[in-house]
Chains A and B, each alone.
Chain A
Amino acid sequence: GAGVSQTPSNKVTEKGKYVELRCDPISGHTALYWYRQSLGQGPEFLIYFQGTGAADDSGLPNDRFFAVRPEGSVSTLKIQRTERGDSAMYLCASSPRGGSLSPGELFFGEGSRLTVL
């Protein structure tokens, strides 16, 4: 597709369950980002990939959160033992590269809304 695609768009799960959220970036974009947005807040950085490797995962809140991008394209955000506080919109974004060619412009997907009951 033309834009960043995220699935599922909505996920409702029970506390303690495992969840995977998928992101398919814009074709050719080497940089991929995960952000989390809670109600009434701005997006909060989680992790950044340049190619296959996680260049910066300092925003992941704890070790229940993990993300992969094995082939440098699609990425999966994995959340183990979900807690009610994990409920939020998880936004994925991509950019042509992590450099300054187009500084500041991230192309976001529509997000995956996670609700933990």
Chain B
Amino acid sequence: RKEVEQDPGPFNVPEGATVAFNCTYSNSASQSFFWYRQDCRKEPKLLMSVYSSGNEDGRFTAQLNRASQYISLLIRDSKLSDSATYLCVVNTDSGGSNYKLTFGKGTLLTVNP
């Protein structure tokens, strides 16, 4: 089983749609979780951290289920500018440091007019 697995995609949705991405991780010792966004031919950038209680940032909501080792990202009222690849990221370092983030393969989202 891969360390971080994501929905293969691609997702094609109309503007205004709600879309959800799922991710599972294999290492139960994983300490922290993130979603990164990567635009075509660009570098990845942190979108948001994922907390056990769930967290929201505008139209974006992230959820974590430690028991099921499952992470999700929900995008509401999707915009054309949300078109990108969304990368699920897990940090297994017990000290809580940044390094050695493990990335999923990413899920490509295309929002259509």
Contact surface of A with B, Cβ cutoff 8 Å: 31, 33, 35, 40-45, 48, 55-56, 59, 91, 95, 97-100, 102-106, 108-111
Contacts and interface: CB of A to CB of B under 8 A. Distances in A.
Q: For the complex, would chain B's binding face be called helix, strand, loop or mixed by DSSP majority?
A: strand
Contact of A103 (B98, B103, B106): B98
Contact of B97 (A40, A45, A98): A98
B100 A45 contact: yes
Instruction: Report the 8 A-B pairs with minimum CB-CB distance, sorted nearest first.
Output: A42-B103, A108-B43, A100-B96, A104-B34, A48-B99, A98-B97, A105-B46, A95-B98
Contacts, number: 72
Q: For the complex, would chain A's binding face be called helix, strand, loop or mixed by DSSP majority?
A: loop
Contact of A110 (B43, B46, B49, B91): B43
